[in-house]
């Protein structure tokens, strides 16, 4: 199923250069600086339970497509919030998946899955309803062998560094287990404070209580809140973290006075905060997180522009991260003005900015990153982490920001087995883009080879201080 020239231009001249560039980077170690793989799998290093639990249940890329075709999440075994019954027969779930595998044609999910099936499991026929059970048995048998234990696959995939995403109050228990084991795989945390920053979230006060417990600081006002955040950042750094991350609707930034911030914090504690209070508090915390990063050196990642849990019915029944987050139009030039004027001129600080609004690449993001020393552009993200999406990203960003104001590739995945597939796709797409520039004599072949290395490995190490 895997053609060796996949994703390369059919133009023979471009394709030949792309092959050469790709061959020079295809075996480089994988740096995965942002993602959502559960560190528990490496701490415990036990066999994956079943193909269904490995591929389908944790991966909203997969089941959102099936849901869009009218297949209830209950039939796919997705756990409910209230514990009401869902399908437990993993073979039956896999049969549904196999029968509808054709839905992924032309999508990045289809490309990743095809790579995983063939390259990891040696499956060379397309999954369908007729062969679903045979393939299920084949994968199940493989998963019970030592070669398919999580740590063994981590090494086989040639992963040099994998970063997880962890809440501000997380004990990092599984990271400690990994660090105290005799395994030398590098799995590091990333500090994500969303749960304690989003003051209108239903469980916000519970999260503040957890923050108090984790930091040893009684968080009862804004001053103690900031102290607790700084305390936890230091703990994360000691555990190997190199970055923070915030997922926000709008990249609006604004510095409040301590008194203004505390007044909002007290209203939130009393259950009286407004939507405008939350907007201002998040804007202020972006400023504070930039200040902290300028002091402690953690790279600041900002992921704006997702309307989280757009499908309220699914959110109420199944909870967070169930494939119903939808992009929104996002403005950066005015919203980021205050933060960038205060912190963006510091070359020692790194702020990595992402977007789900592709129309912004050439209009705002590339000009901003092409000027402010602290600002770098994250790769094509989420819905645009695809063949065409990555190509559009390079086309719209490169002429204004260049390559060196970007940060390579990150896979942002919960599906561990998709990591090599995603990085391979990125390396092929970037090789093809560079080959097009070389074929048109915009860059020469030596520049193209150097850029291939940088996009696959060099830039991500530099940006994340790895």
**pLDDT tens-digit series, residues 75-98:** 999 999 988 899 999 999 999 999
The model's pLDDT over 180-238, given as tens digits with 9 standing for 90+, comes to 999 999 999 999 999 999 999 999 999 999 999 999 999 999 999 999 999 999 999 99
Cβ-Cβ contacts under 8 Å for 286 (sequence gap 6 or more): 246, 248, 251, 252, 253, 302, 339
Torsion of CA 310, 311, 317, 319, to 10 degrees: -20
Helix (H, G, I), strand (E, B) or coil at 245: strand
- Report how far apart, in Å, the C-alpha atoms of 415 and of each of 113, 143, 304, 383 are: 10, 15, 22, 16
Per-residue pLDDT at 306: 96
Query: What is d(CA 151, CA 25) in angstroms, rounded to the nearest whole number?
Result: 23
- In terms of CATH, what superfamily is 48-146? uronate isomerase, domain 2, chain A (1.10.2020.10)
Per-residue pLDDT at 357: 97
The answer, yes or no, to whether residue 1 has pLDDT greater than 90, is no
Average pLDDT over residues 262-291: 98
Specify the pTM: 0.96
The answer, yes or no, to whether residue 151 has pLDDT greater than 90, is yes
Q: Report the run of H or E that residue 452 belongs to, with start and end.
A: helix 445-453
Domain residues of the chain, as ranges? 12-47+147-463, 48-146
Model confidence band, residue 367 (pLDDT cutoffs 50, 70, 90): very high
Per-residue pLDDT at 310: 96
Torsion of CA 418, 420, 426, 431, to 10 degrees: -150
- Report how far apart, in Å, the C-alpha atoms of 65 and of each of 60, 78, 114, 333, 356 are: 8, 14, 16, 34, 19
Average pLDDT over residues 313-342: 96
The answer, yes or no, to whether residue 307 has pLDDT greater than 90, is yes
Domain 12-47+147-463 fold: TIM Barrel (3.20.20)
């Amino acid at each position: 199923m895997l053609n060796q020239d996949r994703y390369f231009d059919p133009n023979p001249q471009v394709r030949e250069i792309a092959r050469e560039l790709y061959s020079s980077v295809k075996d480089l170690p994988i740096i995965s600086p942002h993602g959502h793989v559960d560190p528990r799998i490496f701490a415990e290093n036990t066999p994956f339970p079943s193909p269904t639990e490995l591929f389908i249940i944790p991966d909203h890329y997969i089941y959102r497509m099936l849901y869009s075709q009218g297949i209830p999440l209950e039939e796919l075994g997705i756990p409910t919030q209230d514990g009401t019954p869902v399908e437990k027969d993993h073979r039956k779930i896999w049969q549904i998946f196999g029968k509808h595998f054709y839905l992924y044609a032309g999508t990045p999910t289809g490309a990743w899955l095809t790579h995983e099936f063939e390259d990891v499991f040696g499956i060379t026929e397309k999954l369908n309803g007729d062969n679903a059970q045979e393939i299920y048995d084949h994968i199940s048998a493989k998963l019970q062998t030592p070669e398919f234990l999580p740590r063994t696959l981590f090494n086989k995939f040639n992963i040099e560094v994998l970063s997880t995403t962890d809440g501000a109050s997380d004990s990092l228990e599984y990271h400690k287990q990994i660090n105290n084991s005799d395994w030398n795989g590098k799995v590091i945390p990333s500090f994500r404070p969303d749960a304690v920053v989003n003051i209108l979230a239903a469980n916000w006060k519970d999260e503040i209580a957890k923050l108090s417990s984790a930091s040893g600081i009684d968080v009862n006002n804004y001053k103690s809140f900031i102290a607790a955040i700084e305390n936890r950042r230091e703990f994360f750094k000691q555990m190997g973290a190199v970055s923070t991350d915030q997922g926000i609707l709008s990249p609006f930034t604004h510095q409040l006075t301590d008194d203004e911030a505390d007044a909002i914090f007290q209203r939130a504690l009393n259950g009286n905060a407004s939507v405008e209070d939350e907007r201002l508090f998040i804007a202020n915390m972006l400023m504070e997180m930039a200040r902290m990063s300028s002091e402690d050196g953690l790279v600041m990642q900002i992921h704006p522009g997702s309307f989280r849990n757009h499908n309220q019915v699914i959110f109420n029944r199944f909870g967070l991260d169930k494939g119903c987050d939808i992009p929104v139009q996002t403005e950066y030039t005015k919203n980021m003005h205050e933060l960038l004027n205060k912190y963006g001129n510091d070359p020692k600080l790194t702020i990595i900015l992402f977007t789900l609004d592709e129309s912004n690449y050439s209009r705002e993001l590339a000009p901003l990153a092409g000027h402010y020393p602290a600002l770098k552009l994250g790769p094509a993200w989420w819905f645009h982490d695809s063949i065409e999406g990555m190509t559009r990203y390079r086309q719209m960003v490169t002429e204004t920001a260049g390559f060196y104001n970007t940060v390579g590739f990150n896979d942002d995945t919960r599906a561990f087995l998709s990591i090599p597939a995603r990085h391979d796709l990125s390396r092929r797409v970037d090789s093809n883009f560079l080959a097009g520039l070389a074929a048109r004599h915009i860059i020469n072949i030596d520049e193209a080879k150097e850029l291939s290395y940088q996009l696959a490995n060099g830039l991500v190490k530099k940006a994340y201080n790895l």
